[in-house]
C-alpha cells in the first residue's frame, strides 16, 4: 500500500519533469499538426473534438444528470423499493480492507463527479476562480482514487467474471421491474454490480490516464507516441474525447449505484459500512451465492 503511494507520487514528479522537455505541441511538430488538422488523410481528431465538445458533450451530461434520476424517481414511485428484514441473521460480506478501499473511492467520487459537472457547465457558474478551484479539487480527488483503484480492481476481480447467472439476471433486469420478492440469480455480485465494477475500475483508470495527460498537457512520452502513432496533440484530443465518453458512462452507473444502495434496497448501504449483509437480502438478491454459502455451511 505504502509502496503504491510512493510509486504514484514518484511518477507524478517524473511526469512533471518530463513535460519540461521538448514540446511536440509548440515546436517541431506544430506545422505538421497544422497541416494535418482536418485533412482527409488525417484522423480529423481536432474537428471531431470540436464538434463533439461544441454540440454534444454538455448536452449528454445534462441528459444523464436529469434523465437518470428522473427514471429512478419514476421507478421508485411505480415499483418502489425492496425492503428486507434487518432483524435477521447477517452475512459477513466485506472485509475491513474492502470497506476502506471502497470508502476512499466513494469519497473520491463524491468529489470527482460534482466537480466534473461544474466544469462541464462552467459557463453557468461564470468560470473564474470558483470553477478553477473545482478543477483543482477534481485533480486532487483523482489522486486518492488513483491510489485505491488498483487494490479495488484486484480485491474483487475473482468474483467479477461473467457467469451464466448474469445473463439470467439481465433477462429479468435483476427483478427490479417487479414488486414481488423472488430469488434473483446472482453470485456474490450480480450482473449490475459486475458492470459497475468493470466500469469503475477499468473505466476509472482510463479516466485517470486521460485526465492526467490533459492535466500535464505537455509531457513527453515518446513511447506512447510511437506506440499509438498519434502526435501529442492528437493524443490529447483522444484523451479529451475518451474522458468525456467514458466519464458519461461512469457517471450514469455511479448514479445507478447510489440509487440501488441508498434508495431501492433499503439499508443496503450498511453492508459496506459494517461489512454485513442481511441474510434475507442475500437469499433473494444473490440466490446462487446464498445456495453456495449454505452448501459450504458457512451460514
Partner 1 sequence: MSELAKMKFYCDDQRCIECNSCSVACAEAHELPTGVSRRKVITLNEGIFGKEFSTSVACMHCTDAPCEQVCPVDCFYIREDGIVLHDKEICIGCGYCLYACPFGAPQFPRDGAFGTKGAMDKCTMCAGGPEETNSSAERELYGQNRIAEGKVPMCAAMCSTKALLVGDEQEISTIYRKRVASRGKGVQSAPYGWSEEYSKQ
Nearer to partner 1, 5 or 35 (CB): 35
d(CA 119, CA 47): 21
Q: Which of these, 66, 37, 63, lies nearest to 237 by C-alpha position?
A: 37
- 56 interacts with partner 1 by CB under 8 A: no
- 80 interacts with partner 1 by CB under 8 A: no
- Least Å distance, CB 257 to partner 1, is 26
Nearer to partner 1, 230 or 293 (CB): 230
Nearer to partner 1, 39 or 274 (CB): 39
- 176 interacts with partner 1 by CB under 8 A: no
d(CA 152, CA 241): 26
- Least Å distance, CB 47 to partner 1, is 8
Give the range of 42-50, 76-84, 158-166, 196-204 binding partner 1 by CB under 8 A: 42-50
d(CA 244, CA 57): 7
- 27 interacts with partner 1 by CB under 8 A: yes
d(CA 227, CA 253): 31
d(CA 217, CA 137): 18
- 243 interacts with partner 1 by CB under 8 A: no
N-to-C CA span, the chain: 32
Neighbours of 66 (CB within 10 A): 10
Task: Provide the Cα torsion 45, 133, 148, 169; round to 10°.
Answer: -70
Percent helix, strand, coil in the chain, to 5, is 70, 5, 25
276: Cβ contacts below 8 Å, ≥ 6 apart: 90, 91, 92, 93, 270
Among the listed residues 33, 93, 108, 288, the single contact to partner 1 using CB under 8 A: 33
- Least Å distance, CB 204 to partner 1, is 20
Residue bearing cell 439481465: 170
Contact 266, 84 (CB under 8 A): yes
Residues contacting partner 1: total by CB under 8 A: 44
d(CA 18, CA 142): 20
Give the range of 83-91, 97-105, 233-241, 259-267 binding partner 1 by CB under 8 A: 233-241
- 35 interacts with partner 1 by CB under 8 A: yes
- 215 interacts with partner 1 by CB under 8 A: yes
Among the listed residues 43, 63, 65, 217, the single contact to partner 1 using CB under 8 A: 217
- 198 interacts with partner 1 by CB under 8 A: no
Nearer to partner 1, 218 or 279 (CB): 218
Nearer to partner 1, 83 or 133 (CB): 133
Contact 212, 186 (CB under 8 A): no
- Contacts (CB under 8 A) with partner 1, residues 120-139: 120-123, 125-128, 131-132, 135-136
Instruction: Point out which residues bind partner 1 (CB under 8 A).
Output: 12-13, 16, 19, 25-28, 30-31, 33-35, 37-38, 46-47, 49-50, 53-54, 58, 119-123, 125-128, 131-132, 135-136, 214-218, 233, 236-237, 240
Amino acid at each position: 500500500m505504502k509502496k503504491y503511494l510512493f510509486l504514484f507520487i514518484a511518477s507524478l514528479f517524473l511526469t512533471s519533469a518530463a513535460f519540461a522537455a521538448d514540446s511536440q505541441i509548440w515546436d517541431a511538430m506544430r506545422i505538421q499538426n497544422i497541416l494535418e488538422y482536418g485533412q482527409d488523410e488525417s484522423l480529423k481528431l481536432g474537428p471531431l473534438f470540436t464538434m463533439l465538445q461544441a454540440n454534444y458533450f454538455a448536452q449528454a451530461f445534462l441528459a444523464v444528470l436529469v434523465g437518470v434520476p428522473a427514471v429512478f424517481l419514476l421507478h421508485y414511485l411505480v415499483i418502489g423499493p425492496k425492503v428486507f428484514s434487518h432483524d435477521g441473521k447477517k452475512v459477513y460480506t466485506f472485509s475491513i480492507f474492502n470497506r476502506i478501499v471502497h470508502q476512499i473511492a466513494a469519497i473520491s467520487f463524491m468529489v470527482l463527479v460534482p466537480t466534473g459537472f461544474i466544469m462541464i457547465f462552467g459557463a453557468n457558474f461564470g468560470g473564474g476562480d470558483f470553477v478553477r478551484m473545482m478543477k483543482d479539487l477534481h485533480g486532487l480527488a483523482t489522486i486518492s482514487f488513483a491510489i485505491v483503484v488498483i487494490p479495488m480492481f484486484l480485491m474483487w476481480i475473482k468474483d467479477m467474471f461473467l457467469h451464466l447467472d448474469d445473463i439470467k439476471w439481465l433477462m429479468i433486469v435483476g427483478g427490479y421491474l417487479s414488486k414481488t420478492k423472488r430469488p434473483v440469480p446472482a453470485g456474490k455480485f450480480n450482473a449490475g454490480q459486475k458492470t459497475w465494477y468493470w466500469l469503475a475500475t477499468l473505466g476509472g483508470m482510463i479516466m485517470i490516464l486521460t485526465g492526467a495527460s490533459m492535466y500535464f498537457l505537455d509531457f513527453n512520452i515518446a513511447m506512447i507516441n510511437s506506440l499509438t502513432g498519434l502526435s501529442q496533440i492528437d493524443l490529447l484530443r483522444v484523451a479529451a474525447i475518451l474522458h468525456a465518453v467514458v466519464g458519461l458512462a461512469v457517471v450514469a452507473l455511479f448514479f445507478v449505484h447510489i440509487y440501488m444502495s441508498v434508495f431501492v434496497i433499503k439499508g443496503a448501504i450498511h453492508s459496506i459500512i459494517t461489512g454485513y449483509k442481511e441474510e434475507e437480502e442475500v437469499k433473494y438478491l444473490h440466490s446462487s451465492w446464498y445456495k453456495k454459502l449454505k452448501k459450504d455451511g458457512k451460514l
